[in-house]
């Protein structure tokens, strides 16, 4: 339940608050970069900064790593690799700048830490 809340909070704040206020164009919509950009997928309709995919996946990855890290030590590697591949893919297909995914990953990590902390306060024996 709290994993879904973590992803939902990360998604809402990234897409509806931060992107709305920053309003950075995607690389495929930027007049300078768009001329030389290779579009591998449709561009998308929203803004670019921060990457909401990076925010959501890093929030979930860090949350899962902090909650289950003692029980399953390998989860750190798998979760961070999974979130990092999502970030790489966003840049590779041309819908985000590298800084978009880096900042999204940092913000998502902070959200994941916050919700893992809340989870441990609610479930101290876990």
This prediction has a pTM of: 0.85
**Rounded (5°) CA angle 21-22-27:** 140
Q: What is the pLDDT of residue 125?
A: 63
CA 62 to chain centre: 10
Q: CA–CA separation, 69 vs 62, rounded Å?
A: 10
> What is the residue-level pLDDT of the chain in tens, covering all 126 positions?
888 999 999 999 998 999 889 888 888 777 776 666 667 777 777 788 899 999 999 999 999 999 998 888 888 999 999 999 999 999 888 888 899 999 999 999 999 999 999 998 887 665
Q: Are 56 and 38 in contact (CB under 8 A)?
A: no
Q: CA–CA separation, 74 vs 58, rounded Å?
A: 16
For residue 18, what is the DSSP state?
I
Catalytic residue list: 53, 96
**Could you state, in order of their start, the residue ranges of all structural domains in the chain?**
1-18+53-126
């Amino acid at each position: 339940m709290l994993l879904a809340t973590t992803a939902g909070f990360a998604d809402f704040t990234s897409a509806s608050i931060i992107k709305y206020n920053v309003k950075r164009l995607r690389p495929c919509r930027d007049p300078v970069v768009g001329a030389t950009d290779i579009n591998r997928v449709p561009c998308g309709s929203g803004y670019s900064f921060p990457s909401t995919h990076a925010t959501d996946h890093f929030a979930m990855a860090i949350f899962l790593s902090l909650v289950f890290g003692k029980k399953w030590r390998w989860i750190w590697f798998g979760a961070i690799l999974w979130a990092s591949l999502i970030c790489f893919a966003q840049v590779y297909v041309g819908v985000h700048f590298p800084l978009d995914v880096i900042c999204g990953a940092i913000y998502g990590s902070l959200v994941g830490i916050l919700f893992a902390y809340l989870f441990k306060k609610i479930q101290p024996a876990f």
